[in-house]
Amino acid sequence: MSNTRVAFVTGAAQGIGEAIALRLANDNIDVALFDLKDKEPLLQKVAQAIQAKGRKAVYFIGDVTVEDDIKTSIDKTVSQLGGLDIMVANAGITMFKPFIDSDDDDYKRIMDINVLGVVHCYKHAAKQMIKQGRGGRIIGACSGAGKRGIHSMSLYSGSKFAVRGITQALALELAANKITVNAYCPGFILTPMLAHPDDDKYGGHGSVAKMAAKMDPNYEGAQPGVVAELVAYIVKPEAYFMTGQAINMDGGLLFD
Ligand SMILES: NC(=O)c1ccc[n+]([C@@H]2O[C@H](COP(=O)([O-])OP(=O)(O)OC[C@H]3O[C@@H](n4cnc5c(N)ncnc54)[C@H](O)[C@@H]3O)[C@@H](O)[C@H]2O)c1
pLDDT tens for 230-256 read 999 999 999 999 999 999 999 999 999
Mean pLDDT of all residues belonging to the chain? 97
Is residue 251 within 8 Å of residue 219, measured between CB atoms? Answer: yes
Mean pLDDT, residues 147-171 taken together: 98
Evaluate: CB of 83 within 6 angstroms of ligand 1: no
Secondary-structure breakdown of the chain: helix, strand, coil percentages, each rounded to the nearest 5: 50, 15, 30
CATH of domain 5-191+222-249: 3.40.50.720
5-37: buried (b, 16+ CB within 10 Å) or exposed (e) per residue? bbbbbbbbbbbbbbbbbbbbbeeebbbbbbbbe
Atom number in ligand 1 closest to CA 63: 32
pLDDT digits (tens, 9 = 90+) for 205-234: 999 999 999 999 999 999 999 999 999 999
Confidence check: pLDDT of 1 > 80:
no
Mean pLDDT, residues 28-51 taken together: 98
Rounded to whole angstroms, the maximal C-alpha distance in the chain is: 55
Mean pLDDT, residues 30-37 taken together: 98
What pLDDT score was predicted for residue 2?
65
In whole angstroms, how large is the CA radius of gyration of the chain?
Answer: 17
Confidence band of 3 (pLDDT split at 50, 70, 90): confident
Is residue 242 within 8 Å of residue 182, measured between CB atoms? Answer: yes
**DSSP-derived secondary structure for 210-240:** HHHTT--TT---B-THHHHHHHHHHTSGGGG
What pLDDT score was predicted for residue 119?
99
* Cα separation of the two ends of the chain: 42
Most ligand 1 atoms within 8 A of CB, residue of 93, 95, 188, 226 to mutate:
93
Mean pLDDT, residues 127-138 taken together: 98
Domain boundaries, the chain: 5-191+222-249
Mean pLDDT, residues 44-66 taken together: 98
Evaluate: CB of 15 within 6 angstroms of ligand 1: yes
